[in-house]
Amino acid sequence: MLILFMNIGIIGTGSIGATLAQKLMAAGHQVKVTNTRQPAELAQKAKELGASPATLQDVVQDVDLVFVSIPLHVIPKLPAGLLRDLPTEVVVADTSNYYPQRDGKIDALENGQVESVWVAEQLGRPIIKAYNNILSQTLVAGSTAPGTSGRIAISVAGDDAQAKQRVAELISATGFDVVDAGSLADSWRQQPGTPAYCTELTAPELTQALAAAVPGKGPQVRDQIMAQLTQRNMPPTRDDLLVLNRSLGMGV
C-alpha cells in the first residue's frame, strides 16, 4: 500500500495533541505544533515531542491537515479566518468534547446542537471529527499493529469522504482500527456519555455502540460520570475511567 506522508499542524499540546504529535512523527509525517505558552516553553515542548514549534498563524500554513486539539470553549477565540481561509483541500480535524463544567454552558449545545457541527460553525469551514472518543491514556498505550486480535477502534465522522479517508489513514498509523461513523451531523453518536465514548471497543463492537446511541441521553450520562469523578480523592486511572464509561455509557 502506498503511504502518503503529510505535513501536519496541531493546535494544542494537551494530552491528545501532544500524543498525536509524537505518534505521527514516529509514523514518518512532518508535524509542527503550537500552544499558548511563551516561545521558549513552546520550543521546549516541541523538542520533547520531536515536532517543530510554530506560531498560531504559521502552524496552519503549508500543511495538508490541521488538528484542532484544544478545550472546546477556546475554539471561538481563535483568530477569525485562521482556518476558514485555508485552501479547501486542507483537512481540519476536531478532537474536542463539550464539558460544561470546564467550558461553561453553551446554549446551542445545551439545546442539542451536535458539538462538531457547532465547532464547524465557529471555524467557518467543514471539519472531520476524530480522536475525541479515546482516552488519552489509551492513545498513549493502547495502540497495536494492524490485524492484532482485539485491536481498539476509533470512529471518524464527516461529510467529505476523501477528508475522512486521510484522517482514517492517520488513525491506522497511530495504532488503531477505524470505523466510519457517518456524517458530521451523526458525530453526536461519539460524544461524551454515549456507548462509543472512551469504551475501548473493537471495530465491530464500536459499530454496534454507535448504532446503540440514544438521542439526548449522552449529556445525562456525561454529567453522571463527572459527578462520580468529582467525589474521588485520587485522579482516576485508565481502568477507572473505562469502568465508569462502560457501566454508565453502555450499561455493562
pLDDT tens-digit readout, 73-130: 999 999 999 999 999 999 999 999 999 999 999 999 999 999 999 999 999 999 999 9
154-177 b/e (C-beta count within 10 Å ≥ 16 → b): bbbbbebeebbebbbbbbebbbbb
pTM: 0.95
Domain spans, the chain: 71-250
Q: What is the pLDDT of residues 219-241, one digit of tens each?
A: 999 999 999 999 999 999 999 99
**CA 110, 112, 116, 120 torsion-angle sign:** negative
Grid look-up 438521542 returns 215
State the amino acid at position 192 in one-letter form: P
Q: pLDDT-derived band of residue 252, with 50, 70 and 90 as boundaries? A: low
State the amino acid at position 29 in one-letter form: H
- How far the first Cα of the chain sits from its last, in Å, is 39
pLDDT of residue 106: 98
Q: What is the pLDDT of residues 161-209, one digit of tens each?
A: 999 999 999 999 999 999 999 999 999 999 999 999 999 999 999 999 9
Sheet holding 65-68, edge to edge: 52-53, 30-34, 7-11, 65-68, 91-94, 128-129
CATH number of 71-250: 3.40.50
Report whether pLDDT(1) > 70: no
pLDDT of residue 3: 57
